[in-house]
Structure 1
Amino acid sequence: MVQREPKQERSARTRAAIIRAGAEVFAEVGFAGASVNKIARRADLTLGALYFHFESKEQLAREIVEAQPARLVLPTTVHGLQGAVDTTIAWATQLLGDPMLLAGARLVMDQEYFVDTEKGNSHQQWVEVLLPYLHEAAQEGELRPDVDAEALARLLVNAATGAQMNAQLDTGRQDLPDRIRQMWGFLVPLIATEECASRVLESL
């Protein structure tokens, strides 16, 4: 006798398939070029199944963008300025093979069409990811006294966003990890104490 898959598990699998298909389509053609029909076809599902889980492509795009930070795989031991460095390099490296992160990179300029103003945009989302590391770096004396952690977090997100957009045009993002390392190579001597800077630069 064939055992039927539990309804809850089947629903979760269908939802995951929609998210994966949505990420792939958004990454390929952007928000404007994506349609619920394209996403449903990519997931090999009916429109009814898609609409059961997501009322619109806007809602799907929001979920994909909000899930970005959870995609990163980081050592549990990272902290301080090294934690911020490792987070951005992990993002740049994993983005190359992760449809979810690729979709987030492609959707970054289309957020006005689907962003949830109460939760903030993806720029602020990534600022919040980096801030704990930078606050820790400040508390541990790794940053120069005149460095503002929040302003630095915003600068890093802006620089990383610009780097991935330029890398997409130049190399299809293949050199994005190198660009992020170069970014830190310029920044670290300006923001970190001499001892911390020496340690972080050696890791790049």
Structure 2
Amino acid sequence: MAKQDRAIRTRRTILEAAAAVFDERGYEAATITEILSRAEVTKGALYFHFASKEDLAHAVIDAQLLDAPRLPEPPPASRMQRLVDLGLVFAHRMRDDPLLRGSVRLTLDQGPSGIDRGGPFRGWTRLHARVLAEGKERGEVLPHVVPADTAELIVGAYAGINTMSQAVSGRADLERRAISLYEHIMPSIAVPSVLARLDLAPGRGARALAEAERLRAAGPPPASAPVAVG
């Protein structure tokens, strides 16, 4: 068990080091030598976990969804607040999560390499479509909204503000841009009664993540209490 735990920690260390290098250099300029130096591991340890730089890049890209925090919520929280929270928590994590930052850099950089960058786009689109469909079932979403189409629009627009934020401010203004995005698109998605209750204030991402962590620490609710389906 101790050996397995050590292997898991080593793999994570390599992933985070690679993500930091990819974020700073991009895929083409990043080197295995620099990743090894940053991770402080041997070449053998790296190749035990990852067959190549391309394999390592795919693992960093995949971590964008695999590492995304679950956002448990007490009933009867709205699905549209969850939709907004997906983007605001993401913006908050982009400040200091090296694995997420590296994953996003790889996903958005359309370089000449043969890396499949579409996984996060497809995954986030499916997740947004599911939340929108649940919101529609609850009567939170306007009748004209097609969840799959709207999900693609949101994910694409968010990728755009992410790219612009990186270019203009090194991501320092990503939260502000995300809030502005939702202020503009949510009136076309949510019914007025739900729209009026949405929390789009600065710091919402940090608050939502802290609440998720508090609920996880508290454990599941008693058997007699209703359980929110997330």
TM-score, structure 2 as length reference = 0.79
Q: Output one character per residue of 1:102-143: Cα deviation in whole Å (capped at 9) or x when no partner.
A: 012211134662228xxx522111112222211111111111
Give the CA deviation at 1:62.
1.2
Aligned partner of 1:183: which letter? L
1:56 corresponds to: 52
Residue in structure 2 matching 1:35, options 28, 31, 35: 31
| Count of matched residue pairs | 196
1:47 corresponds to: 43
SS of the residue 1:64 aligns to: helix
Identity percentage over the alignment? 34
Residue in structure 1 matching 2:179, options 178, 181, 199: 181
1:92 corresponds to: 91
Range with greater deviation from structure 2 (29-38 or 177-186): 29-38
SS of the residue 1:113 aligns to: coil
Distance 2:66 2:81 in 1: 19
Contact persistence 1:22–1:39 (CA under 8 A):
yes
Distance 1:131 1:8 in 2: 37
Q: Output one character per residue of 1:79-116: Cα deviation in whole Å (capped at 9) or x when no partner.
A: 51111100110001111110011012211134662228
Q: Output one character per residue of 1:46-86: Cα deviation in whole Å (capped at 9) or x when no partner.
A: 21211111001111111111121343345411651111100
TM-score, structure 1 as length reference = 0.88
Query: Which structure shows the higher helix fraction?
Result: 1
Root mean square deviation, CA, Å? 1.9
SS of the residue 2:187 aligns to: helix
Aligned partner of 2:101: which letter? L
Give the CA deviation at 1:30.
1.1
Residue in structure 2 matching 1:21, options 17, 34, 44: 17
SS of the residue 2:145 aligns to: coil
Aligned partner of 1:180: which letter? A
Contact persistence 1:79–1:136 (CA under 8 A):
no
1:122 corresponds to: 120
Distance 2:24 2:105 in 1: 8
Matched ranges for 1:64-143 at <5 A: 64-73=60-69, 75-77=71-73, 79-110=78-109, 113-115=114-116, 121-143=119-141
Contact persistence 2:65–2:120 (CA under 8 A):
no
Aligned partner of 2:128: which letter? L
Aligned partner of 1:160: which letter? Y
SS of the residue 2:95 aligns to: helix
